[in-house]
Chain A
Amino acid sequence: MPLQPWMELISVDDHLIEHPKVWSDRLPTKHLDAGPKITDWERPDTGQVCQVWEYEGRIYPYIGLNAVAGKKPEEYGIEPVRYDDMIPGCYDPKARVADMDIDGVQAMTCFPSFPRFAGAVFAEGEDKELAKLCSAAWNDFHLDEWAATAPDRFIPVAMLPFWDLEASVKEVHRVAAKGAKCVTFPDLPDRLGLPSVHSDHWDPLLSALEETDLVLAQHFGSGGFPPPIAPDAPFAVFITLMGTMSMTAMTDWLFSNTLYRHPKLKIGLSEGGIGWIPYILERCDSVWRKHRFYNNINQDHPPSYLFEKHIHGCFIEDDFGVEMRHMIGIDKITWECDYPHSDSFWPQSRERAAQALEKVPDDEVHRIVELNAREFYNFPRAA
């Protein structure tokens, strides 16, 4: 069996649900009223009383609280509920570890929920000082409370006040000193009204990430830009195409001059799958060969050169990607289990990984499920 018992599963894409006191425990008193807090809210359409986040007077009804108690997978939808309706592993790190033990998963990487996957909710804040404090408070919660519960079980994540470049650079150094291993960053920053990765705007931040050796993790959807689909298309079309957001983000990087200025930058494409990577690399290189002469792009190296130096992907269920693993690069593939989302195979993640990798040689399986993530994220086995 290629997945051996001694191989530890490291997931690079998972999520936590912030408990109600994440911000009220940490914000200065003068900001407690406007800062994020859980409040009861009656849905206007159904009259259902829900627990929702309120931030600067705005209600965020569907973020992080959309467990759908009592429904079958074919009825999954987006309805806010209460904390009691969630499995405790969503918001309690000790319960999370217990669920990981059952699932056969050694460590995971937990992205935010209410602030959205890269903290974009705070970019919408009217009080930018409060927004920065909220972003830092999430990091303190994650590093001091969540990941600290079991340091060998959680790869520490941090978010940035990315609307303020100078503050972001400072925050990178602060969280690196506290043990963060990666920062979550919007997959398509230009869609949030910020400069794209083609500009030199992000250079100080990217240099800080190189200096601290933190991974820049781009979770699909974190830029808030959904796949362009027909307004009346079934939701299935939307879900199917979410991974193409990672394809867009990666193509931006591969045709930018930015990565040539940051040769040590590590980029993780979170939850985007891997099966599409050989196609887009072939396509990028083909375009580069035919069209580079009149484009402001690097003339010496094809885009695939940058992929090999900088980028890694992950998969949860991607038979085609596993089949094409040598065209992607064994060293560029990591594994994810996406707990506690319904896409997760919990409590069978280990068994499903073993099935997915059944025809892959042991040494390659070990790289994919454990070693690559440990190296990218500087997360060695506990002594």
Chain B
Amino acid sequence: MSDDEGPHREQLAQSDCTDQDLLTKDEARERLVEEIDRTRARLDAVKAGSADSDEINLLARRLNAMESIRNEYNDYLDGK
């Protein structure tokens, strides 16, 4: 194997003509954690800047919703 070929990965045994890999709770939580951090930073920046109340409310509501779902995933995944 040349260096360009990279590490060997085992080929999946099954094909899936419907291409249905689903988001998992692990993957969803990981994405949520990243998005929560980004949204919180954005909210802080908006509060420190123009103080647009509409945008602040929108960001805060979305942040709360994401944190709520993240906590549900935490409960499930930590209990495994």
Chain A positions near chain B (C-beta within 8 angstroms): 15, 17, 62-64, 66-73, 76-78, 84-88, 90, 98-99, 101-102, 113, 116-117, 221, 224-226, 234-235, 238-239, 242, 339-344, 346-348
Nearest B residue (CB) for A86: B22
**Can you list 19 A-B contacts with CB-CB less than 8 angstroms, sorted by A residue number?**
A63-B18, A63-B20, A67-B24, A76-B21, A78-B14, A78-B16, A87-B23, A90-B22, A102-B66, A102-B69, A116-B18, A224-B17, A235-B12, A339-B23, A341-B20, A342-B23, A347-B31, A347-B66, A348-B35
Select one of A70, A72, A342 contacting B22, CB under 8 A. A342
B32 interface residue per 8 A CB criterion:
yes
B44 interface residue per 8 A CB criterion:
no
B50 interface residue per 8 A CB criterion:
no
Cα A76 to Cα B24 with chains together (Å): 10
Chain B residue total in the interface (Cβ 8 A): 27
Q: Are A87 and B35 in contact (CB under 8 A)?
A: no
Cα A339 to Cα B76 with chains together (Å): 21
Q: Are A347 and B22 in contact (CB under 8 A)?
A: no
Shortest beta-carbon distance, A68 to chain B, in Å?
6
Nearest A residue (CB) for B54: A5
Shortest beta-carbon distance, A263 to chain B, in Å?
32
Cα A306 to Cα B36 with chains together (Å): 46
B4 interface residue per 8 A CB criterion:
no
Select one of B11, B19, B24, B66 contacting A86, CB under 8 A. B24
Q: Specify which chain A residues have a CB less than 8 angstroms from the CB of B11 in the assembled complex.
A: 234-235
B22-51 Cβ-contact flags toward A at 8 Å (1 or 0): 111111100110010000000000000000
- The 10 A-B residue pairs with the shortest CB-CB distance, nearest first, are A67-B22, A226-B17, A342-B21, A76-B21, A78-B16, A69-B24, A78-B14, A340-B23, A67-B24, A87-B28
Q: Are B76 and A102 in contact (CB under 8 A)?
A: no
Q: Specify which chain B residues have a CB less than 8 angstroms from the CB of A78 in the assembled complex.
A: 12, 14, 16, 20-21
B53 interface residue per 8 A CB criterion:
no
Cα A73 to Cα B28 with chains together (Å): 11
Nearest B residue (CB) for A225: B17
Contact flag A340-B18 (CB < 8 Å), given A101-B65, A235-B12: no
Q: Specify which chain A residues have a CB less than 8 angstroms from the CB of B66 in the assembled complex.
A: 102, 347
Select one of A64, A234, A346 contacting B31, CB under 8 A. A346
Q: Specify which chain A residues have a CB less than 8 angstroms from the CB of B27 in the assembled complex.
A: 71-73, 342
Shortest beta-carbon distance, B4 to chain A, in Å?
15
Q: Are A15 and B20 in contact (CB under 8 A)?
A: yes
Nearest A residue (CB) for B29: A87
Q: Are B21 and A68 in contact (CB under 8 A)?
A: yes
Shortest beta-carbon distance, B75 to chain A, in Å?
12
B2 interface residue per 8 A CB criterion:
no
Nearest B residue (CB) for A15: B20
Nearest A residue (CB) for B62: A102
Q: Are B76 and A341 in contact (CB under 8 A)?
A: no
Q: Specify which chain B residues have a CB less than 8 angstroms from the CB of A113 in the assembled complex.
A: 18, 20
Shortest beta-carbon distance, A159 to chain B, in Å?
14
Nearest A residue (CB) for B58: A5
Nearest B residue (CB) for A69: B24
Select one of A15, A66, A98, A343 contacting B16, CB under 8 A. A66
Q: Are A98 and B17 in contact (CB under 8 A)?
A: no
Q: Specify which chain B residues have a CB less than 8 angstroms from the CB of A116 in the assembled complex.
A: 18
Q: Specify which chain B residues have a CB less than 8 angstroms from the CB of A72 in the assembled complex.
A: 27
Shortest beta-carbon distance, A227 to chain B, in Å?
9
Q: Are B25 and A86 in contact (CB under 8 A)?
A: yes
Contact flag A341-B19 (CB < 8 Å), given A98-B65, A347-B31: yes
